[in-house]
Amino acid sequence: MIRKPGLSCVTDGGTRCGAVMQNGGAEPFASLAGALRVSLPEPTRIGHGLMKSFLAFALALACGAALAQNAPQEPAPASRVALVDRIVAVVNKEVITQFELSQRVDRVEKELRRRGTPLPDPGEMQRGVLERLITEKVQMQFAKETGIRVEDLDLDRTINRVAENNKLSLTEFRQKLESDGVRFDQFREELRNEITLSRLREREVNSKITVSDSEIDTFLADQAEHKDTATEYNIAHILVRVPEQASPEQLQTLRSRTEEALKRIKDGSDFAQVAATYSDAPDALQGGSMGWRSQERVPELFVAALAKLKPGEVSDILRSPAGFHVLKLVDVRGAGAPLLVDQAHIRHILIRTNELVSEEDAKRKLLQLRERIVNGTSFAELARLNSDDSSASRGGDLGWIYPGDTVPEFERGFIELKPMEISQPVKTPFGWHLIQVLERRTTDMSSDRQRIEARKALLDRKSDEAYQEWLRQLRDRAYVELRLQEG
């Protein structure tokens, strides 16, 4: 139980909490969560980041404890009560507070302004953002219940990669976040949640999708038949999700909502603004943008509709198991990735870091090895003696590498190297590397490789549809009580 001496609560149907300002100015709930403190008449909105749900739940617990133990005999004067927060939704056994919602709405508004997207109606946007918070919370609860965890070490490695991708040191990256009004600990927890949701989707959806050999054969035959036609689409969409066992009345209501969205678009409203207002898809707050998709990665239902559209046009309403869709073809371009690809024959030396080998030690050792190689020592021999990779016995030889075969940091390390050139030390999640390109070639993808790529494309196509269906079912099973209109 969370307690704070000298704290009292007032309640309004169990949905509002307040702290009595004693002696003319004690800060409400200061020790519980400074980020929860707000000033009247409106909650303070912090630009980026989610309020952690356990803080919201702790707030509710604190109010209950204080009410039970410190309730005054007479109501406190109204002028001495400050509204701290209120519950806007109950999701299973957890709550979403107005503070959480206000933070997310503020972040969405800033993102829409950055993209130049007109802001939706405030009430519609608030309801849409709340629905997405509910969907996120349901997934996080399921992940926790089923044992998905992101260890601090994995999280730290990911943060380091994010910093490197932004060409910043970890210290510079942290300073950049804080200058943008984002607390580093807040960023860490948001990133932890993103990784958790990604792992959840991989386990519950992607790992259960199968692609048969006959599907691959059909895909490759179709690709060969249409290799000279435009097969890549830049798509935006709106999804109005339909519950699994929706009644006829619910179906009509949701279809009417979709028709209203389509009418607004045809009447000249900005598609991105309408998507942010009406869509239940995860990308709704990015204007519904799905980005560029090769034809094989687009659901078959969409392909048929897109074939009838010109760039800038919008489809009629489409019905899938997930709900009602409206598509916009933003642009279209020529045939997808050619079968001719550039390959590089690579070898490397890997030094892993651990308790005994620091980052600086690993980098310094590789610089010394590089100097020896440049001065004539055999790369292969030094790889056999020093590399921590399984390729050491082969002199560090990784064979012919296709684009995308290695982690991005490694690929960036050799992409510009000329044959026989040696890189400077390159850091990846596995450690530090010296990389040498032995030779380069442009080659037609082998038959086996084409089948691997075809399987990946079909998995991507099926994954999008399966994820929306799984998400709908998970949401339908959850107990959700909306209190947004209360108070």
Separation of alpha carbons 271 and 116, rounded Å: 12
Cis peptide before 41 (omega within 30 of 0): yes
Neighbour tally for 412: CB within 10 Å: 15
Q: Are residues 124 and 173 in the same domain?
A: no
Give CA torsion, residues 321, 324, 330, 335, to 10 deg: 20
Residue 330 lies in a domain: yes
Residues 6+ apart with CB under 8 A from 249: none
pLDDT at 363: 93
Q: Are residues 323 and 465 in the same domain?
A: yes
Q: DSSP alpha helices (H): ranges in 180-232?
A: 184-204, 213-225
**Residues paired with 292 in a beta bridge:** 234
Q: Are residues 328 and 464 in the same domain?
A: yes
Q: Are residues 434 and 454 in the same domain?
A: no
Q: Are 484 and 126 in contact (CB under 8 A)?
A: yes
Q: Are residues 327 and 458 in the same domain?
A: yes
Q: Are 43 and 104 in contact (CB under 8 A)?
A: no
Task: Say which CATH number the domain at 172 has.
Answer: 1.10.4030.10
pLDDT at 446: 65
Q: Are residues 32 and 135 in the same domain?
A: yes
What letter would DSSP give residue 92? T
pTM higher than 0.85 for the full model?
no
pLDDT at 484: 80
E strands present in 242-339: 289-294, 318-320, 323-333
Smallest CA-to-CA distance from 25 within 69, 66, 82, 68 is with: 82
Q: DSSP alpha helices (H): ranges in 8-121?
A: 53-70, 98-115
Residue 5 lies in a domain: no
**Secondary-structure percent of the chain, ordered helix, strand, coil, rounded to 5:** 50, 20, 35
pLDDT at 124: 84
pLDDT at 130: 92
Residue 376 lies in a domain: yes
Query: How many angstroms separate the Cα of 407 from the Cα of each of 210, 285, 319, 411, 412?
Result: 25, 29, 38, 6, 9
Q: Are residues 382 and 239 in the same domain?
A: no
Residue 290 lies in a domain: yes
Q: Are residues 115 and 30 in the same domain?
A: yes
Q: Are residues 465 and 348 in the same domain?
A: no
Task: Say which CATH number the domain at 89 has.
Answer: 1.10.4030
Residues of the chain short of pLDDT 70, as ranges, are 1-84, 226-230, 334-340, 444-446, 448, 485-487
Supply 422's token pair: 């040696």
Residue at which a domain ends, from 141, 161, 184: 141
Condensed to tens digits (0 to 9), the pLDDT of residues 403-412 reads: 778 888 898 8
Q: Are residues 279 and 317 in the same domain?
A: yes
Q: Are residues 333 and 344 in the same domain?
A: no
Residue at which a domain ends, from 141, 160, 182: 141
pLDDT at 164: 83
Residue 435, classed as helix, strand or coil, is strand
The full length of the chain comes to 487
Residue 64 lies in a domain: yes
Residue 172 lies in a domain: yes
Residue 10 lies in a domain: no
Task: Say which CATH number the domain at 378 has.
Answer: 3.10.50.40
Residue 50, amino acid: L
Residue 239, classed as helix, strand or coil, is strand
Residue 369 lies in a domain: yes
Domain coverage including residue 367: 340-444
Domain count, the chain: 4
Q: Are residues 243 and 281 in the same domain?
A: yes
Q: Are 196 and 140 in contact (CB under 8 A)?
A: yes
Residues 6+ apart with CB under 8 A from 48: 107, 110, 180, 181, 182, 186
Residue at which a domain ends, from 98, 126, 141: 141
